[in-house]
Chain A
Amino acid sequence: MSMSTAAAAPGGGWRRYFTWNTDHKVIGVQYLVTTFGFFLIGGLLAMLVRAELAQPGPDFLNGTEFNRFLTNHGSVMLFLWIIPVLAGFGNYLVPLMIGSRDMAFPNMNALSYWLIPPAGLIMLASFFVGAAEAGWTAYAPLSIQTPVGQTLWAVSVMILGTSSLLGAVNFVTTVFTMRAEGMTFWRLPLFVWGMLATSLLVLLATPVLTAGLVLIAMDRVAGTLFFSASNGGDPILWQNMFWFYSHPAVYIMVLPAMGIVSEVYPVFSRKPIFGYKAIAMSSMAISILGLTVWAHHMFTSGMDPRLRIPYMISSMIIAVPTGIKIFSWLATIWDGKIRFTTPMLFALGFISMFLIGGITGIFLAAIPIDLHVHDTYFVVAHLHFVLFGGSVSAVYAGLYYWFPKITGRMYDERLGKVHFVANFVGTNLTYLPMFLAGLLGMPRRVSDYSPEFATLNLMATLGAFLLGTSVLPFIYNAVVSWVSGPKAVANPWRSLTLEWQTDSPPPAENFHQLPVVTSGPYDYGQPTSVPGQAQAVPAAGD
């Protein structure tokens, strides 16, 4: 254990981020920085796609190249950015938030991280041998016929699934066995509830995708016939196995994000979260319901028509727990004393844009409408409002909110606000026109389109380039502030959750003395709730 001993030394230097390190904070930072790198790559691919689509007619990409960029844009963004970046927040925060010294399995934690860079390299290296071009959904039999890069893609996604799975085992075990004295389940911060609900989904859904990928890989490499229709194989089987994971994956990508904003609202409204238990339980409800809705992606597939009705109903019911969360958040900021810091702006932006994604989800669940808009730009707009307007906004909120905790330095508020405005305008400019394009008849994943959609696509492309540019002030802010920003105090936001009751950045093993928890995480506005005292008193005799 020489590595972790080195990490246990105060500081440890930047070199530790490039080693096998078992400190959950180091691993958390490794996750956050690496996945942000993949975010930039995915964004670059998106801008190439949007550039091709700026005007009708073939411009500079042929159909094959276009499909490769599009496929890897989706795969990188989902498997190498949103899912792992949220796991990165989980790694950094869960042990701190529950008052633990580390995760339950520190070495397995390091393994979860170190599976990601090679998997990312495999996915991107496939560009040299003919990258995957069947979309991130990899529908068989198209994904059986495409060049060898598709096999690398499947291997890469399997590795990333394994990483995510090991992380989930670790999170659940940590939350169940490593909570500090007095940290009952009803005192868990809502981000931890979000990670629990997510981990449940990862554990139950990811292995089915892995099994499906095994079948795809076997068809490609060993000549099996699972998806070969002429030999009795069934392409619909892949859709079932794929969506059984990939619809819950949306919740895997959104539940921790909802947890992040649930941390931000109370702190910057100086009010307790409204309906704590309802928010926590709605996360669990979403995760359980989320396992029953997958075939709403297959309404047009020609599956047994009678089966579609229950899937429509369960999909629509998910709007109820989601609504509970949104209304509870609004009630949290209502009558508060709101501070418009950058994290709060992103968290408020989260509600306004996630709402659009959520409402249009009801349109898609309604089968008669889905039969028209399925596989059109309407779906593209919907999923980007959920995952970009929603999850990515929350990720930004989290990055700004915990920046002083992670780096020990303050970021620049002015640049942060510039970033927020550019991001907010860019998101709406990019994705709102896509709804209309889809309704009017533009299919998704096309490298060319009828001239009637030219204006809408030009708007979307301009928005995408604004989004691309909006990352620059963030990167500048993060790098410069990390190196030479003003030093942050331990608890600059006067927050009550445990991660703020220790140094910024926290020392090795997190707490000088393990805390004993005596009150809830959001007890703002009560005389006892002085940060650093009420919630975390040193354990007697520790």
Chain B
Amino acid sequence: MQMDTRLSSKPGAGIRTYLLVFLGLAVITGVEIGLATVGLTRSLRLPIFVVLSLAKASLVAAFYMHLRSDSRFFTAIFITPVILILAVAALFIIA
């Protein structure tokens, strides 16, 4: 395993970044729960919550999973099935 470490992400992302990302995640989740208890109309709920959850997922993937600093190839591997399954799910649902 020794040689592998040269390839793994550099310890660049600092603890500060990790904590800031967590703060972001926590705030968004708080906002989500708040909005859910307020009881938005369906037409508002859908876009707002989708955007918020995508923001959270992107934060985790970009910073905690290091996609921001790692090879772009990993990002492509992760994004491709996400796009594919979105299209496929839509086709499953309307069929």
Q: Are A237 and B92 in contact (CB under 8 A)?
A: yes
Nearest chain A CB to B28's CB is how many angstroms away? 28
Q: Are A240 and B92 in contact (CB under 8 A)?
A: yes
For the complex, what is the distance from the CA of A291 to the CA of B95, rounded to whole Å? 16
Nearest chain B CB to A312's CB is how many angstroms away? 14
- Does A244 touch B at the CB level, under 8 Å? yes
Q: Mark A298-311, 1 if CB is under 8 A from B, else 0.
A: 10000110010000
Q: Are A204 and B84 in contact (CB under 8 A)?
A: yes
- Give the interface of B toward A (CB within 8 A): 80-81, 84, 88, 91-92, 94-95
- Beta-carbon nearest neighbor of A176 in chain B: B73
Name the A residues within 8 Å of B84 (CB-CB).
204, 291
Nearest chain B CB to A248's CB is how many angstroms away? 12
Name the B residues within 8 Å of A98 (CB-CB).
none
- Beta-carbon nearest neighbor of B85 in chain A: A208
Name the B residues within 8 Å of A208 (CB-CB).
88
For the complex, what is the distance from the CA of A204 to the CA of B88, rounded to whole Å? 11
Q: Is the contact region of chain B dominated by helix, strand, or loop, or is it mixed?
A: helix
Nearest chain A CB to B74's CB is how many angstroms away? 11
Q: Are A307 and B94 in contact (CB under 8 A)?
A: yes
- Does A295 touch B at the CB level, under 8 Å? yes
For the complex, what is the distance from the CA of A291 to the CA of B81, rounded to whole Å? 11
- Does A241 touch B at the CB level, under 8 Å? yes
Nearest chain B CB to A486's CB is how many angstroms away? 44
- Does A466 touch B at the CB level, under 8 Å? no
Q: Are A303 and B81 in contact (CB under 8 A)?
A: no
- Does A236 touch B at the CB level, under 8 Å? yes
Question: Count the A-B residue pairs with Cβ separation under 8 angstroms: how many?
Answer: 22
Q: Are A303 and B88 in contact (CB under 8 A)?
A: no
Q: Are A204 and B92 in contact (CB under 8 A)?
A: no
Q: Is the contact region of chain A dominated by helix, strand, or loop, or is it mixed?
A: helix
Interchain residue pairs with CB less than 8 A apart (6): A204-B81, A208-B88, A236-B95, A295-B95, A298-B95, A307-B94
Name the A residues within 8 Å of B95 (CB-CB).
236, 240, 295, 298, 303-304, 307
Nearest chain B CB to A304's CB is how many angstroms away? 6
Name the B residues within 8 Å of A204 (CB-CB).
80-81, 84
For the complex, what is the distance from the CA of A241 to the CA of B92, rounded to whole Å? 8
Q: Are B91 and A295 in contact (CB under 8 A)?
A: yes
Nearest chain A CB to B73's CB is how many angstroms away? 8
Nearest chain A CB to B52's CB is how many angstroms away? 26
Q: Are A304 and B92 in contact (CB under 8 A)?
A: no
Name the B residues within 8 Å of A295 (CB-CB).
91, 95
Name the B residues within 8 Å of A237 (CB-CB).
92
Q: Are B88 and A304 in contact (CB under 8 A)?
A: no
> A307's contact among B80, B81, B88, B91, by CB below 8 Å, is which?
B91
Which positions 289-323 of chain A face chain B at CB distance < 8 Å? 291, 295, 298, 303-304, 307
Name the A residues within 8 Å of B94 (CB-CB).
304, 307
For the complex, what is the distance from the CA of A303 to the CA of B91, rounded to whole Å? 11
- Beta-carbon nearest neighbor of B94 in chain A: A304
Nearest chain A CB to B33's CB is how many angstroms away? 29
Question: What would 5 more interface pairs be, CB under 8 Å, given A203-B81, A204-B80, A303-B95?
Answer: A204-B84, A236-B95, A244-B88, A291-B84, A304-B94
